[in-house]
Amino acid sequence: MELVITEIKNRVGYVVLNRPEKRNALSPQLVGELTAAIQNLLHDDAVKVIVLKSADKPFCAGADLEYLQELRHFSREENLADSRRLRDLFDLIHRGNKVFISQVEGPALAGGCGLATLCDFCYATPEATFGYTESKIGFVPALVAVYLQYRIAGHHMRELLLTGKVIAAEEAHALGLVNKVVSDDHIAQEVSAFAEQLCDTVSGGSVSYIKQLLRKLPGMHMDEALEYAASLNAEVRSSADCVKGIDSFLNKEKIKW
């Protein structure tokens, strides 16, 4: 059975986690298939938006605990290599030059919560739950913490990581982890409609530049950030999408992205 199913519809690439018997726990095989599927969609010019979802209600239970049992017998070098494979998957989404949307309809825990919330947008049903539960099994939410700081920070981040508590979708929305809570009956339709709207109304070139901007700004000093922003503005003005967008606007033509 394929652990990851992909489908392209109306310029939206759907990546479906398909390991229901293990609640989509992140085994090496699942991580490998997810990475390959996302890489393929990122390189496909016919795809503008990528949706990450599950074939069943549980979104992702985090690390595969049976596999973690095996890892205790690995050398430090082998464990480091394994951790880097998961880091590469997370970074592929974080640095990808297309919009990522997660569609969460059940538990998203530990690494699974990281996977859901490092997407650019997270849509969830009222039944969905979120938690960085690593501390409850003696583990550390190291990788997910790096990306969580782009979503939330301060005492909210500290509380979630240190307590390992699981929160409902509405609370996750209030904290900024979730963009919108949608009923179970309508979430698939709403996510697809939003993804297709982005395809039609937003420049893919702009998305790539903006995601680059959002990655680089944190940690920059004000003068450095302003100089980088000025340089980026200068670069974008001659880009194909900017030329097309301005010409279409001035000619009162509908822009077709």
Task: Write down the domain spans for the chain.
Answer: 4-199, 203-250
Q: Residues 24-59: pLDDT tens digits? A: 999 999 999 999 999 999 999 999 999 999 999 999
Q: Report yes or no: 74 and 32 within 8 Å, Cβ to Cβ.
A: no
Give catalytic status of residue 134 as yes or no. yes
What is 4-199's CATH topology? 2-enoyl-CoA Hydratase; Chain A, domain 1 (3.90.226)
pLDDT at 132: 97
At residue 76, φ and ψ (nearest 5 deg) are -60, -40
* Structure confidence at residue 65 (pLDDT): 83
**Measured distance CA(184)–CA(241) in Å, rounded:** 37
pLDDT of residue 94: 95
- From the list 2, 66, 70, 134, the catalytic residue is 134
Beta strands 129-131 and 107-109: pairing type? parallel
Q: Determine the Cα–Cα distance for residues 133 and 151; give it in Å rounded to an integer.
A: 18
Per-residue pLDDT tens for 106-141? 999 999 999 999 999 999 999 999 999 999 999 999
Query: Quick one: pLDDT at residue 74?
Result: 87
* Residue 73 pLDDT: 82
Residues of the chain with pLDDT under 70: none
Give pLDDT, residue 58: 96
- Longest Cα–Cα distance of the chain, Å, equals 66
pLDDT at res. 57: 93
Dist. CA 195–CA 189, nearest whole Å: 10
Q: Please name the amino acid found at residue 234.
A: A
Phi (first) and psi of residue 123, to 5 degrees: -105, 140
The phi-psi region of residue 184 (left if phi > 0; otherwise alpha if psi is between -120 and 50; otherwise beta) is alpha
Phi, psi for 180 (deg, rounded to 5): -155, 140
Q: Give the pLDDT of residue 18.
A: 97
Tell me how long the chain is: 257
